[in-house]
């Protein structure tokens, strides 16, 4: 079993990339691997915004993130990238505010680091 750290760099308008991320995680678990964490970085921090509203016939990013949180995957939000983009870092559930150094420590203990851009 290997440990995989994931960083998400794409914004919320990339629905196909979010679907691909969820499928990748499902396949990872199906092959008995573990996700160390998912780190939202660069435009990926917009996934933690409380102001994102999707049309009812579109993929709901918040539902995807909740499904991933329900799998007990640590969901980390880069505080610097979030603040730089004007996001409120006070209420970020299901994400935990973290720094790039924390992600570096987690990824150094993982077997792989996979980026979704």
Catalytic-role residue among 78, 79, 81, 98? 78
**Residue 78 annotated as catalytic:** yes
Q: ∠ at Cα 107 (102, 113), nearest 5°?
A: 135
pLDDT over 90 (residue 103): yes
| Structure confidence by residue, pLDDT tens digits, 42-92 | 999 999 998 888 888 888 999 999 999 999 999 999 999 999 999 999 989
Strand partners, 112: 4
CA atoms within 13 A on the CB side of 112: 11
Domains and CATH numbers, the chain: 3-116 (3.40.1260.10)
pTM, two decimal places: 0.96
């Amino acid at each position: 079993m290997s440990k995989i750290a994931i960083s998400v760099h794409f914004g919320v308008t990339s629905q196909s990339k979010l679907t691909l991320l969820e499928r990748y995680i499902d396949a990872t678990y199906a092959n008995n691997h573990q996700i160390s964490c998912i780190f939202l970085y660069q435009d990926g921090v917009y996934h933690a915004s409380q102001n994102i509203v999707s049309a009812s016939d579109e993929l709901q990013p918040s539902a995807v993130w909740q499904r991933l949180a329900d799998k007990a995957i640590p969901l980390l939000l880069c505080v610097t990238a979030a603040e730089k983009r004007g996001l409120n870092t006070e209420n970020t559930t299901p994400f935990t505010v973290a720094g790039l150094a924390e992600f570096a420590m987690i990824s150094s203990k993982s077997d792989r680091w996979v980026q979704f851009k």
